[in-house]
Amino acid sequence: MGYEYINVDSRHRNTYEDKSEIKVHLSNPILHAKSVRLIGFSAPNEFFNIQKDNNTLTLVQWDLNQSTPTSISEPYTIEAGLYSIDDLITQLNIKFAAKPIGTTSTAVATKLANNKVQIQINAATNQDKRVVVYYPKPADDKNDPFEKSIIHRLGYHRIQVSDTNANNFITKSGTNVNIIYNDGFQTIVTTEANWLSDEKRFLIWNPSTSDVSLKTFVGAHIGYESLCGHLFVKSDLVRDFHSTVKDHANNMIFTTQRNILQKIDVDVNIHSYIHYRGNLTEAIVHTLSGQPISHFTIQLTDDNHNLFTGFAFKHFTCILMFETHDNLASTRLNEKVIENNQRSIFLASHK
């Protein structure tokens, strides 16, 4: 057996390429490759944790003074970039102060002593207002981008966030307030008291002047700063990795074939380096056909299989190891066969 090593550096991309993908052209093709694996990877953990097109936190306020409660949506957009939790809270509070919800309610974010994040609603004495965080669920079979959202980065769980802002979401009959929502299978109606006390449902803010707990919203988890728990290194050399996909529309989980070369755990803090050194147990060995390899692509994606673009990532490097068939032994065997044939021919002709 023989081995050939290829070092790939994203700094060697063409100047017009702005994605985390590099096309590699080999000066000498790799012949008779039987397998490939990733044995080394390095990248700074400075991926943008607030990403373009998923950088808005939306608060929805309902006015229960109306016979049919009406709602006002206020989106708060943060510029894409890399933020610590403290930086993110600071930027949100600037946005909150500049644009109250419907001119009557102002949100304030605070990091508590346990590193969880609290958002409080400061409003007028009118208590006929309700405020929730809104983040829609995808209608197709893509992974839910909620895990890359601002509210999730602050430590809030999916079940704490409303996935609908329909007009009939909140109803009021006399002093009773009912919450109507859909959990993906059926429409559920429950009282506000149950909604507030049930941890399996997203929470609600009631801008009460007497009960502070009714106007605060605390995340279920500690806020986190790394973009995702793992990265994927992909290549068109392989197509033997299967992963699961959630079909939200039909509530089904199925598998799909992907060109993943290796899964890289992100186990360091932001502003630190991610280093991966593949060993016999961690590195995924991919079988190859043995056809000559003159070019291939390398991609780096997040855990939702999305490429990074623009300034959302810094340069990365990786090392690939190709295992090849040892043709020297085959050549010597052929030479021995030819030598024996020639000897047989000589002996036969000379009896």
Of 218, 247, 266, which marks where a domain is finished? 218
- The pLDDT, as a whole number, for residue 336 is 66
**Are both 65 and 214 inside the same structural domain?**
yes
In whole angstroms, give the CA distance from residue 143 to residue 247: 8
**Are both 202 and 65 inside the same structural domain?**
yes
* 309-339 tens-digit pLDDT: 999 999 999 999 999 986 555 555 566 666 7
- The pLDDT, as a whole number, for residue 2 is 86
**Are both 12 and 71 inside the same structural domain?**
no
**Are both 66 and 13 inside the same structural domain?**
no
- The pLDDT, as a whole number, for residue 87 is 96
Give domain status of residue 350, yes or no: no
Q: Specify whether the CB–CB gap between 319 and 3 falls below 8 A.
A: no
Give the torsion through C-alpha atoms of 128, 132, 138, 139, to 10 deg: -10
What is the domain extent for residue 170? 56-218
Specify the CATH number for the domain of residue 297.
Answer: 2.60.120.1100
**Are both 235 and 290 inside the same structural domain?**
yes
Give domain status of residue 277, yes or no: yes
Which positions of the chain have pLDDT values less than 70? 1, 124-127, 139-142, 165-168, 173-176, 178-190, 195-204, 206-213, 248-249, 280-281, 326-338, 341, 343, 345-351
Of 198, 218, 238, which marks where a domain is finished? 218
**Are both 322 and 194 inside the same structural domain?**
no
Give domain status of residue 334, yes or no: no
Q: Specify whether the CB–CB gap between 240 and 286 falls below 8 A.
A: yes
- The pLDDT, as a whole number, for residue 215 is 75
Give domain status of residue 134, yes or no: yes
**Are both 198 and 138 inside the same structural domain?**
yes
- In three-state secondary structure terms, 45 is coil
pTM attached to this predicted model:
0.81
**Are both 115 and 161 inside the same structural domain?**
yes
Percentage above 70 pLDDT, the chain: 77
Give domain status of residue 101, yes or no: yes
**Are both 94 and 192 inside the same structural domain?**
yes
**Are both 125 and 271 inside the same structural domain?**
no
Strands (DSSP E) contained in the chain are 2-9, 21-30, 33-44, 56-63, 70-77, 105-111, 117-123, 129-134, 170-173, 176-182, 187-191, 216-218, 230-235, 241-247, 252-258, 260-265, 273-277, 286-287, 293-301, 317-324
Location of structure tokens 């669920």: 137
- Answer left, alpha or beta for residue 142, where phi above 0 means left and psi between -120 and 50 means alpha: beta
- Tell me which amino acid residue 310 is: G
- The domain total for the chain is 2
Give domain status of residue 50, yes or no: no
**Are both 263 and 115 inside the same structural domain?**
no
Give domain status of residue 49, yes or no: no
Give domain status of residue 337, yes or no: no
**Are both 306 and 255 inside the same structural domain?**
yes
